[in-house]
Chain A
Amino acid sequence: MEKEKIVEMRNIRKTFLNNVANNNINFVVYKGEIVSLLGENGAGKTTLMKILYGMYTKDSGEIFVNGKKVEINSPKDAIALGIGMVHQHFTLVRTLTVLENVILGLPSPKGINLDFDYARKRLQEIIQRYGLVVNPDAKIWQLSVGERQRVEIIKALYRNINVLILDEPTAVLTPQEVEELFKTLRIFKKEGKSIVFISHKLEEVMEISDRIVILRNGVVTGERRKEETNARELARLMVGREVIEVLREKTSVTEKSPLLKVEGLKALNDKNLVALKGISFSVNKGEILGVAGVAGNGQRELEDVICGVRKPISGHIFLDKDEISGRSPKEIIRLGVGRIPEDRMESGLILDLPLYENLVIEFYDKPPFSKGMLINYKSIKRFAQKLIKEYRIKTASIDVKTRTLSGGNLQKVILARVLSQSPKFIIASQPTRGLDVGAMEYIHEKLLEARNNGAGILLISEDLHEVLNLSDRIMVMYEGEIMGIIDRSKEKVDIEELGLMMAGAKRRKVS
């Protein structure tokens, strides 16, 4: 390889508590290339790049930029060395304007006074040169997700960076927006800038990269030029074995009877904008209805309404004969809804309470767990012991603070709590996000088991593979509407069509 090395990271090691996130990683970025860091969630990709960007301090190892050894202690150092990063969770200040966000943290040509005129001129230049259209005076909270990402990229360009790190940039974009992003990235490459593209999506990585570095469990498991590899090999390097499709047995419930009926449901989001535009659908007994769609198209609000934490402005939700919309979480739980929320750390569990209390928190006030005003901790602990054995929850004891459990085990706690009540209907939102493969398979298995036992399940997931693997029917949501429902007992899924529906480019008649 004759190309010039821009960045070289040698023997990088980083641990969090007892968890090794990066174990002696070597990683190089050459001038004018797009290199992908491929790996599953938790493989250590983001950690490695946050070290390069000065957000994490490495435990050991060395970093060279343009051949010189450097110490990067803060993002400021990184930016000064020409390294910029667009984070998965945008680092924008919602209440500030685009322009203010772009110049945030930079010295001003006018000393302590901000110089908006100068900044505006440079911003316009960048917008024109790269076609990154955005209104400089809009407040961030007024922008769409795609626009926000553009602001992030503009921010980096404004700082004259040579190396741009993008952390899972496509996760929040429609396929069409992804194409636009890729176009922009190719312009950068042509200009001699280097791009580090963090992803766990094989197709994208194969499309955009020149070179691919694969991480697994904190170590590099391989490095390939795009021409010399294929998706299958990359998947093996990433997962450690061939990817197995989850076997979906035919559902055991043969008669199709609607269990959950949603009728004309309208709801607002946190900004008081209409997020659900009067949708209607139903979930049958013994089936998994998967909801596909790019994040932010009303899935969250749908979840909230069904879970009882958001009041709809109109419409109904019936579980069998019972109306559940507008009811409190407690009543909804009592009526037989099992809830696996997207936000498991902040909604599904109270991390500072002991494990045994989290295992009963949705029904601690029912016998045998309590009587009158009193709680029977003996029976709660007995029940908790039973659950951790049954669901193989790894923990030192049931008395520890729930916070001490790992991500996969936290999700198992929720799963155990929900399934122990044999709910008629389950809503599971992003049930495996951020989990390792083992935990993911376990949770899929359990959800399928519940379905086979006759529960109806609404599965909301951004992970299209998950939706494809588990669902009996697939519903696509876009901007608060249903674009169509694909019944897999009647037809095969056309991935291209699905993508177009997710991007709002195609709509089917919903029967």
Chain B
Amino acid sequence: MNTGFWTLTFWVGFLAATVRMATPLIIATLGETFAERSGVLNLGIEGMMIFGALAGFLTTYFTKSLWLGVLVATLSGIAFGWLMAFLTVTLTLSQHVSGLGITIFASGLAYYTYRAAIGSPTVPPTIKAFSTLKIPLLWKIPIIGPILFDQYAITYIGILLVPLAGYLIYKTTFGLSLRAVGENPEAADAMGINVYKIRYTALLIAGGLAGLSGAFFTLAEFNMFLYDIVAGRGWVAIALVIFANWIPSKVLWGALFFGSIDAIGLRLQGTAIKVPFQVYLMLPYIFTIIVLILIARNASYPSALLKPYRRE
């Protein structure tokens, strides 16, 4: 692949890769947006994604069904979301430590399960992963077609989730309660809203989406489960929520921005510019930190974030 830097093919390929790489970030970040809007920082997200990646892979590996894999990955995320809710909402434990505990536990459990189920063969087993789904007619539009309408099914789901999340948060009674609970749980409680129920729901959504996001790695992006396959994307999602100011539509743009950094790395590896590929792998993390520095002062965190709610 010695495509020139300035050719159209290069840019179409780059933008298509951007959308693809943004997919897990869009999904996970939307989930995290729900969690944080309800007042809970879900640091378990990385572990939930790793476990989702594994659950999706193993299910598909044994059943040959990709969609069953997607389902099981999502359900596994929901299960960990429930655990996170139990720890931080019911038991009112520290959200920081609970989330880290879940990440360590879930990632450990994922690798443990993988070893137990697969062993450690020299060549990791593979599945037949999702191939891209060409949207009839639309994919033939020049430039736009290959970028937007020749993607994985999960990518389409991720993009559709953006308006859905916006609708849920801004137009429904659940969304209004969610925003109130994350901002002022005492007030929400006084208005008869069940703070616990809203936070549980938000964390189940966050967990489910984290699991789904993880499945993207093993069922679409790659066709196998690798150690550290998620590689800190969960933490990037946490940063993205701040970047997006807890607004779903901005999540899309933020995720595409970070997807593009990932994609640049992929593209430049094939060009004449000789930089160790690890430098490209580093880029998203460096950019995330820079972005955090730039927006830290103006971020409007949900006021109740990190604060457990205890009724007297």
Contact = CB atoms under 8 A, between A and B. Distances in A.
Direct contact of A and B (CB under 8 A): yes
Interface of A: 16, 53, 55-56, 74-76, 79, 85, 87, 89-96, 100, 103-108, 112-114, 155
Contact of A96 (B171, B179, B186): B179
Interface stretch (B54-62, B190-198, B215-223): B190-198
Nearest to B167: A113
B261 to A, nearest CB: 31
A100 B176 contact: yes
Contacts of A90: 187
Main secondary structure of the interface of A (DSSP, over half): loop
A18 to B, nearest CB: 15
Given A100-B176, A104-B180, A108-B173, A91 B192 contact: no
A114 B191 contact: no
Contact of A114 (B173, B184, B303): B173
Given A74-B192, A75-B190, A92-B187, A103 B176 contact: yes
A156 to B, nearest CB: 10
Main secondary structure of the interface of B (DSSP, over half): helix
Given A55-B311, A85-B190, A105-B191, A92 B172 contact: no
Contact of A95 (B175, B177, B179, B194): B179
B184 A87 contact: no
B262 interface: no
Bin the interface of chain B by size. Answer: 20 to 34
Contact of B180 (A53, A56, A93, A112): A93
B183 interface: yes
The 6 A-B pairs of least Cβ separation, nearest first, read: A76-B192, A105-B191, A91-B187, A91-B190, A105-B192, A105-B193
B130 to A, nearest CB: 32
B171 A104 contact: no
Given A75-B189, A93-B179, 20 more contacts: A53-B190, A55-B190, A55-B312, A74-B192, A74-B194, A75-B190, A75-B192, A87-B190, A92-B187, A93-B187, A94-B183, A95-B179, A96-B176, A96-B183, A103-B176, A104-B177, A104-B187, A105-B192, A105-B193, A108-B173
22 contacts: A55-B189, A55-B311, A74-B189, A76-B192, A76-B194, A85-B190, A87-B190, A89-B186, A91-B187, A92-B187, A93-B180, A93-B184, A93-B188, A95-B183, A100-B176, A104-B180, A105-B188, A105-B192, A112-B172, A112-B174, A113-B171, A155-B191
Contacts of A104: 176-177, 180, 187-188, 191, 193
A277 to B, nearest CB: 27
Given A55-B190, A104-B193, A94 B184 contact: yes
Nearest to B184: A93
Nearest to A77: B192
Nearest to B174: A112
Interface in B148-203: 171-177, 179-180, 183-184, 186-194
B179 A79 contact: no
Contacts of A89: 186
Interface string B269-300: 00000000000000000000000000000001
Contacts of A112: 172-174
Contacts of A100: 176
B49 to A, nearest CB: 29
A43 to B, nearest CB: 17
Contacts of A103: 176
Contact of A113 (B172, B186, B312): B172
Given A105-B177, A112-B174, A91 B184 contact: yes
Interface of B: 171-177, 179-180, 183-184, 186-194, 300, 303, 311-312
Nearest to A102: B191
Given A100-B176, A104-B180, A114 B171 contact: yes
Nearest to B187: A91
B300 to A, nearest CB: 8
A403 to B, nearest CB: 15
Contacts of B300: 95
Nearest to A92: B187
A91 B179 CA distance: 14
Contacts of A155: 191
A506 to B, nearest CB: 36
Given A91-B190, A92-B184, A96-B180, A56 B172 contact: no
Contacts of A76: 192, 194
A75 B191 contact: yes
B186 A91 contact: yes
A95 to B, nearest CB: 5
A135 B311 CA distance: 32
Contacts of B172: 112-114
A16 B183 CA distance: 27
A104 B190 CA distance: 10
Contacts of B184: 91-94
A79 B193 CA distance: 12
Contacts of B191: 75, 91, 104-106, 155
A121 B184 CA distance: 26
B166 to A, nearest CB: 13
Contacts of B193: 104-105
B303 A94 contact: yes
A85 B194 CA distance: 17
Contacts of B176: 96, 100, 103-104, 114
A21 to B, nearest CB: 10
B312 A79 contact: no
A113 B174 CA distance: 9
B247 to A, nearest CB: 12
B165 to A, nearest CB: 14
A155 B187 CA distance: 12
A74 B312 CA distance: 12
A226 B180 CA distance: 41
A122 B259 CA distance: 47
A488 to B, nearest CB: 41
B306 to A, nearest CB: 16
Nearest to B302: A95
A56 B312 CA distance: 6
Contacts of A106: 173, 191
B216 to A, nearest CB: 28
A159 to B, nearest CB: 9
Contacts of B311: 55
